Structure 1
Amino acid sequence: MTLLAAQELVKEFDVAGTAGLVRPARRFTAVDHVSFELHAGQTLALVGESGSGKSTTARLAARLIDVTSGTVLLDGQDVTTLSGADLLEVRRQVQMVFQDPFSSLNPRHTVERIVTAPLRYQKRPMPGGSRAVAQGLLERVGLDPGHVDRYPAQFSGGQAQRIGIARALAVGPRVLVCDEAVSALDVSVQAQIINLLRTLQREEGFGCLFIAHDLAVVRQIATTVAVMTAGRVVETGPRDAVFDDPQHEYTRKLLAAVPRIRPEWEAARRHNAGARLETTTSTPRGE
């Protein structure tokens, strides 16, 4: 079942002209007719270089910014024009995990206050009180429940990102949008956060829209991959199909730039590339 879908999303921004020069204001298209589908319990990875439009697409999907045109569907309902209580419910169902955990956590607030903030914002009950709820959330993400009175600066980067994930889980979202959620972390910590997200997804069944530029990370978590460049999706497919037999030249360039940590990935890619070359250069049957 399709949980979240984007249909022909477009986002344009006004770019101011340069004072004193004959350069008028113009419109910049950051997202150009992007469509995708995300299913419950699966992870769709939007990948591409910096400036490809993937993070803007994520913010459109989460209704953090408004679309210029196109639609975002949650369970088949168009959410692009919702406001008030209806938009508040969308925000409950679609939660964000941001790139820099420290920038997204208020340094003046305790962990208890941080992770229960969505519940207060949504005016939802907290059985047993906010402290008990915060302790339960910390335990779910692998942190010491006794640390609810600490402040963000007292945690490592990986621990801070776990706090961000706990905050996102507080209201029971059906979609988790992870915008470069592990790119600021060390490789070993990245693996821990990826494993945590996969475990939580199995337990909770949420869909995950995972924004990343690191294809090695994407290979570990994605079910489906959509490759973006210049605001457009140029290739979409199951993870293994995209990695082992990329069809678009841009996808092949991205994969060629990835350090080959696992030789079997490179072997599969070379085999499929060779098969394509042989097909295009061989004499057609019957001639």
Structure 2
Amino acid sequence: MTGGRDSHGGPGGPAHPGPLLRARHLTKRFTTRAGGALGRKSVFTAVDSVDFEVFPHETLALVGESGSGKSTTARLVAKLMKPTDGTLEFAGRDVTHARGPDLARFRNEVQVVFQDPFSSLNPRHTVARILTAPLVYQGLPVPGGRRAFAGELMERVGLDPDHMHRYPAQFSGGQAQRIGIARALAVGPKLVICDEAISALDVSVQAQVMDLLVRLQRESGFSYLFIAHDLAVVRRISHRVAVMKQGVIVESGPSAEIFERPRDPYTGALLAAIPRIDPEWDRRRREGAGPGNASTTPSYEELR
């Protein structure tokens, strides 16, 4: 990440061990041909040699406009896409070229919650089957049996266990996203990647899902890589922020610092685009004085 290692956990945050995830010079280029297979070849760099780290128990938000490369970065981290260059380390292991058992282990440790829950949930499967599938497909035992396991997961995300035999289409968008979150939790991950996980939800539902994400992190202690374009959302949930523009991280640091004293003009422009209902907040930021309590995100001490 640009600028070296940041402080973590906000004021008074305790010292922490090394990063859970470390990306170094992560790069993704796509080759395209205009006019079909015989057309002129061109190369597009979606992610351009980015460095960043995610530490245990924290939320790193990766933000930027559409096309900035943040979702491609998320897919590279989740190993849903191969990097053109660079390395990935997870829990002290080089997983850049992980295969076989090493890749299976990584898949359990890193889970993804996607933007559209309905496109990522099998419409022909009941919720109970969806929630137990990650274990069943790997030949792992389902603690307490499928029904009890699915019911416990549904309770954790605020859903009625009696509805486990329903299908995804029988739920609202917010409820379906809770199912997606529950499925991610099924294998006990260390890192959950939220790729625009709340951007398709109504504003009131967004707040409920964000509260859920914070609570689950308190309970289980995993980390988030939170991909978003909405800085208002990021401010509420993140400990640190990395700002992407055209495939490059242009600024990174503790959440409060990014919001109160942005260094890069692009970050300032993103902040200026946030709708405000409190003009005093804007005045204080322009004058260089923080609004007091800059973030409602729990500190690392609270997460422990």
Tell me whether the two structures share a fold, i.e. TM-score over 0.5. yes
Q: Once the 2 structures are TM-superposed, how far is the Cα of residue 36 of structure 1 from its aligned partner?
A: 0.7
Matched, 1:4 2:27: no
Residue number among 34, 40, 47 corresponding to 1:31 in the alignment: 47
Q: For residues 121 and 264 of structure 1, do their structure 2 counterparts lie closer, same or farther at Cα, with a shift above 3 Å needed?
A: farther
Residue of structure 2 in register with 1:78 after alignment: 94
* CA spacing shift, 1:119–1:265, aligned 2, 3 Å: farther
Identify the residue that residue 62 of structure 2 maps to in structure 1.
46
Q: How far apart in 1 are the matches of 2:37 and 2:47?
A: 30
Q: Percent identity?
A: 63
- Report the equivalent of 1:212: 228
Match of 2:149 among 133, 141, 149: 133
Q: 1: distance between equivalents of 2:205 and 2:44?
A: 36
Question: After the TM superposition, which parts of structure 1 deviate over 3 Å for at least 4 consecutive aligned residues?
Answer: 261-265
After superposition, give the CA deviation of every residue in 1:51-83 in whole Å (9 maximum; x if it has no partner): 000000011111111111111110121101110
Shift of 1:18: 1.7
- Counterpart pick for 2:33 among 16, 19, 28: 16
Q: Deviations over 1:142-164 (max 9, x none)?
A: 10011110001111111000000
1:252 aligns with 2:265: no
Alignment of 1:23-172 (within 5 A): 24-172=40-188
User: 2:209 corresponds to which residue?
Assistant: 193
Q: Which residue of 1 aligns with 2:295?
A: none
**Rounded Cα–Cα distance in structure 2 between residues aligned with 1:264 and 1:225:** 23
Give RMSD over aligned pairs.
Answer: 1.4
Normalised TM-score (structure 2): 0.87
| Separation (CA, whole Å) in 2 of partners of 1:67 and 1:8 | 10
Q: Distance in 2 between matches of 1:207 and 1:6?
A: 15
Cα 1:42–1:261 change in 2 (3 A) is farther
Do residues 266 (structure 1) and 278 (structure 2) align? no
Is there any run of 5+ residues in structure 2 with no aligned partner, and where? 1-16, 290-304
Equivalent AA in structure 2 for residue 18 of structure 1? G
Q: For residues 277 and 70 of structure 2, what CA distance do their matches in structure 1 show?
A: 25
TM-score by length of 1: 0.92
Counterpart of 1:80, as a letter, is T
Query: Letter of the aligned partner of 1:70 in structure 2?
Result: G
How many residues end up aligned between the 2 structures?
272
Task: Give ranges in structure 1 of 5+ residues lacking alignment.
Answer: 274-287
Matched, 1:179 2:195: yes
Give the match's secondary structure for 1:226. Answer: strand
